[in-house]
Structure 1
Amino acid sequence: MIDNSVEGLTARYGERWRWLAVATVVLGTMATVLSATVVNVALHDIMMEFGIRQGQVHWLATGFIAAMTTTMLASAWLLDRFGVRLTLGVAMAVFTVISLVGGFAESPEQLIAARIGQGAMAGLMQPMGMYLVFRIFPADRRGQAMGIYGMGVILAPALGPVLGGFLVDQFNWRYVMFAPAPVTLLGVWMAWRFLPLPRSRPAPYPFDLPGLLLLGATIALTLDTLTRMQAWPGQELRIVMQWALALGLLFAFVFRERTAKHPLVNLLLLRQPVFLFATLGAMALGLALFGSTYLIPLFVQTTLGFSATEAGLLMLPAGVVLGIVFPLSGRLADKRSARSLVLFGIAVFALSAVLFALTGQYAGFGWLVLWAVLGRIGIGFMLPALSTGALNPLPKEQLGAGSSTINFARQLGGALGVNVVALTIEFGEHQGSVPTVAAFEAAWWLVAVFVALAAVPVWKMRV
């Protein structure tokens, strides 16, 4: 019988058990981010095989992120009820099964359903890393640990497009669904071996299922309404009614969370100015990360004639550089102002988006690689600083809720960002059914403006 108490793990592995535990949650994070990004280079082939437009195929990205965003907030209750070891292990096992089933989808609806299932499990998995780091490391080592953990967040988007491009060109798009399964299978075994059992658990409390359903309905209706806006003529009344209903659901969700004894979202955290401003910054980070990861491969394949492999290789140097920057920025987050690091990251990423907008159609492969590298450097400076700035002031009993809320904000920004980017492209100029360069330029300008606006709340963080 394996003793997975903290004392038992320390006896077997010494102090390095903490890094083995971090490596375990890194695998879970890599699987979720790999799944979120690997499909992007396959979108063109999926559109061709099923005869669908960009306005429908984007649900493969948006549906995944939306489901992840919704279930992410359930992680705090699961952590309190079952602990990180059981929750992460089961989520990775179910994720593996869904990935294999999705690879055999025979219609776009089946494929979208599988992506939504993947996203639901990913939402349970992703907050575990931040939660674990802040539970098992002292405050003066959390930035370093977040930098190492963040390499998993970064390596997956770097490797995802390359792996996806190779699989699409050498085999077919179905293999991008199978790709995360070996990672999560290994993660299940590592979770059983290296993750600690909780020292103590809070008294059982009911799960806020009404809150989860209201939140899920709000997000799903919002994203569906944004999608319907891509075919605005003839649907004006329905779109207006859906926006009104989404707003009503949002108010109902906020009322529920303010009155529930054990809410899904601890709104009291948002009364702390630093946490509130960091949450707004996390939304901008999500828009930057997922919006650009969706936009770059589609842009170069659709308008510049790149193959899936070339699109993936374009993203690889950016991921490698980000993997180098992340530990460095993590160390800086232990010593420097979180606000200054995030503002620097925002400026660098906004510059990258502007360069894509101004020169993307004229730049050669090397210049496009450089613009992508600049964007990932900006993201590398934003993520560790936002995490430490938001969570360091919180007491231990609020870390689960705080980490799930920050991750939720980042994913919500990503879901909205991908959808708004897709909407901008769809409204842009087309030649037949294919978006022109001008449509993609408008999307890049939109991303740059949204990220730049995040400097306003970040400036007020005061940490």
Structure 2
Amino acid sequence: MLGTMATVLSATIVNVALPDIMAEFGIGQGQAHWLASGFIAAMTTTMLTTGWLLDRFGLRRSLACAMLLFSVISVAGGFSQSPEMLIAARIGQGAVAGLMQPMAMYLVFRIFPRERRGQAMGIYGMGVILAPALGPVLGGVLVDQLDWRFVMFAPAPVTALGIFMVWKFLPRPVAPLQLYPFDFRGLVWLALAVVSSLDALNHLQAPDQNGVRILLGALLAVAATTLFVRRERRARHPLLQVSLLRQRSFLFANIGAVALGLALFGSTYLIPLFVQTALGFSATEAGLLMLPAGIVLGLTFPIAGRLADRRSARGLITFGMVLFAASAVLFALSDLSLGFVWLALWAVIGRIGLGFMLPALSTGALNPLEPHQLGYGSSTINFTRQLGGAYGINLVALTLEYGEHAAGLPTINAFHTAWWLVAAFVALAVWPVWRIRD
């Protein structure tokens, strides 16, 4: 839980610091959004390596080393002297976060029986959600009272405590570790596919100056994706076990996870930027706006977790999607006269929807799997969720860039368009989710 809290804290806390970072380094929104999307892209790329790490080194050693590396990178990133150094640190944080996050879900599903996994995920989620609940608030206070650099330092104490607890509480491996080669070729093709496609999307913000680069990026992404799929189908020990996707419920749950990632990371990126840029809120006010939503989400998780053990997974996920889509529509209809309380309420509605989606998606995807498939299954469902987040942030940033501007900044109309886009993507995912078998 501490490892996941640190990764989620890192993913969300930097958003309220973006205006200050942009001002200090003199960079635009097109480059600054790589601080968020670069983190998510790196996290997405490395998530599929978790299954191999667990088989090769065991959970105890893998998690402790990942937490140590994450702490070092976080501290180093806080001392960045250029935007390139800061982006590199964010990418490093994301790469290590991608190793840590699936390990928690693997442990929950490996230890708890099927009839208690939803409850366990709900309790786990309640603890983890403290990070995005407190992250924007903590980030806003750190930015306003100290300096934006402290948002990079903030996750390090969490992972430092996690290292101690790993060595004290996690057991040493009982079963013999499996020694088989790592799929480096698959990782290279996957990294090329993710990075080139995100780079092409990023440069679409200025297509006239980057036409050749956009075309080459798109072609490279298609070629790398094709080679990755071919490699995973033929490799003896692939990063992505294609056989898992032949299971109907697992496949449709992963499609729902893409929508969940887009909703979670797209809205977490969009809300602070929206209220600070279009509505004139301070960083602290932007953080406080998200606090009630985080608290309500923390209270929702245990309830949704218990329901996930007893009710239809597809029904709970669909209910959550409808609530979140409604929240996005309400933000899209908001104007400059709307007060703080109403905006906080729209955020609360969206977070309740997310609270119902996450435990049910996990149980719907992983309950049908055998114990030996849980390592790769958990890394795959986390991978697809992060993939949705990576592309969601880029699509939101692209929408803002093409939207109406005033004095070099997106107007409220540009933000409205972005909110409608998020609502549409979540609504479209209802159909495949409804096909998950109970």
| Same fold per superposition (TM over 0.5) | yes
Q: Map Cα deviations across residues 357-400 of structure 1 (whole Å, 9 max, x no partner).
A: 01243321000000000000000000000000100000000000
Between 1:166-175 and 1:357-366, the stretch displaced more is 357-366
Query: What residue is the counterpart of 1:15 in the other structure?
Result: none
Query: What residue is the counterpart of 1:86 in the other structure?
Result: 61
Query: What residue is the counterpart of 1:16 in the other structure?
Result: none
Say if 2:427 is the partner of 1:452.
Answer: yes
The separation in 2 between residues aligned to 1:319 and 1:172, in whole angstroms, is 24
The separation in 2 between residues aligned to 1:383 and 1:108, in whole angstroms, is 34
Query: What residue is the counterpart of 2:200 in the other structure?
Result: 225
Query: What residue is the counterpart of 1:383 in the other structure?
Result: 358
Helix, strand or coil at the partner of 1:114:
helix
Say if 2:365 is the partner of 1:354.
Answer: no
Helix, strand or coil at the partner of 1:186:
helix
The separation in 1 between residues aligned to 2:237 and 2:265, in whole angstroms, is 31
Equivalent residue in structure 2 for 1:240, among 215, 219, 232: 215
Amino acid paired to 1:47: M
Equivalent residue in structure 2 for 1:216, among 170, 179, 191: 191
Helix, strand or coil at the partner of 2:338:
coil
Helix, strand or coil at the partner of 2:236:
coil
Question: Are the aligned partners of 2:133 and 2:293 in contact in 1 as well (CA < 8 Å)?
Answer: yes
Between 1:153-162 and 1:355-364, the stretch displaced more is 355-364
Offset, 1:233: 1.2
Query: What residue is the counterpart of 1:257 in the other structure?
Result: 232
- The number of residue pairs the alignment matches comes to 438
Say if 2:269 is the partner of 1:294.
Answer: yes
Question: Are the aligned partners of 1:73 and 1:405 in contact in 2 as well (CA < 8 Å)?
Answer: yes
Structural mapping, 1:58-457, within 5 Å: 58-457=33-432
**Closer/same/farther in 2, CA of residues 326 and 360 from structure 1, 3 Å limit:** farther
Q: What is the RMSD computed on CA atoms of the aligned residues?
A: 0.8
The separation in 2 between residues aligned to 1:314 and 1:86, in whole angstroms, is 39
TM-score (structure 1 length as normaliser): 0.94
Question: Are the aligned partners of 1:352 and 1:372 in contact in 2 as well (CA < 8 Å)?
Answer: yes
Helix, strand or coil at the partner of 2:58:
helix
Helix, strand or coil at the partner of 1:393:
coil
Offset, 1:246: 0.7
The separation in 1 between residues aligned to 2:261 and 2:276, in whole angstroms, is 23
The separation in 1 between residues aligned to 2:291 and 2:2, in whole angstroms, is 19
Amino acid paired to 2:133: A
**Closer/same/farther in 2, CA of residues 233 and 109 from structure 1, 3 Å limit:** same
The separation in 2 between residues aligned to 1:368 and 1:30, in whole angstroms, is 25
Amino acid paired to 2:238: P
Amino acid paired to 1:309: T
Between 1:241-250 and 1:350-359, the stretch displaced more is 241-250
Question: Are the aligned partners of 2:67 and 2:163 in contact in 1 as well (CA < 8 Å)?
Answer: yes
The separation in 2 between residues aligned to 1:429 and 1:173, in whole angstroms, is 28
4+ aligned runs moved over 4 Å, structure 1: none
Question: Are the aligned partners of 1:348 and 1:375 in contact in 2 as well (CA < 8 Å)?
Answer: yes
Query: What residue is the counterpart of 1:30 in the other structure?
Result: 5
The separation in 2 between residues aligned to 1:360 and 1:96, in whole angstroms, is 41
Amino acid paired to 2:210: Q
The separation in 2 between residues aligned to 1:55 and 1:81, in whole angstroms, is 40
Percentage of pairs with the same residue: 69
Amino acid paired to 1:255: R
Amino acid paired to 1:273: R
The separation in 2 between residues aligned to 1:360 and 1:194, in whole angstroms, is 51
The separation in 2 between residues aligned to 1:331 and 1:146, in whole angstroms, is 9
Query: What residue is the counterpart of 1:9 in the other structure?
Result: none
The separation in 1 between residues aligned to 2:30 and 2:128, in whole angstroms, is 27
Between 1:231-240 and 1:441-450, the stretch displaced more is 231-240
The separation in 1 between residues aligned to 2:188 and 2:156, in whole angstroms, is 28
Helix, strand or coil at the partner of 1:230:
coil
Q: Map Cα deviations across residues 38-90 of structure 1 (whole Å, 9 max, x no partner).
A: 00000011011111111100000000011111111111100011111111111
Q: Map Cα deviations across residues 243-296 of structure 1 (whole Å, 9 max, x no partner).
A: 122101100000000010100100111111100000000010000000000000
Helix, strand or coil at the partner of 1:359:
coil
**Closer/same/farther in 2, CA of residues 407 and 106 from structure 1, 3 Å limit:** same
Question: Are the aligned partners of 2:324 and 2:351 in contact in 1 as well (CA < 8 Å)?
Answer: yes
Question: Are the aligned partners of 2:58 and 2:177 in contact in 1 as well (CA < 8 Å)?
Answer: no
The separation in 2 between residues aligned to 1:166 and 1:412, in whole angstroms, is 30
Q: What stretches of structure 1 of length at least 5 have no aligned partner?
A: 1-25
Query: What residue is the counterpart of 2:22 in the other structure?
Result: 47
Amino acid paired to 1:435: P
Q: Map Cα deviations across residues 65-124 of structure 1 (whole Å, 9 max, x no partner).
A: 111111111111000111111111110011000000000000000000000000011001
The separation in 1 between residues aligned to 2:96 and 2:131, in whole angstroms, is 17
TM-score (structure 2 length as normaliser): 0.99
Amino acid paired to 1:140: E
Amino acid paired to 2:213: R
The separation in 2 between residues aligned to 1:44 and 1:287, in whole angstroms, is 22
The separation in 1 between residues aligned to 2:94 and 2:220, in whole angstroms, is 24
The separation in 2 between residues aligned to 1:284 and 1:210, in whole angstroms, is 28
Offset, 1:167: 0.1
The separation in 1 between residues aligned to 2:170 and 2:418, in whole angstroms, is 42
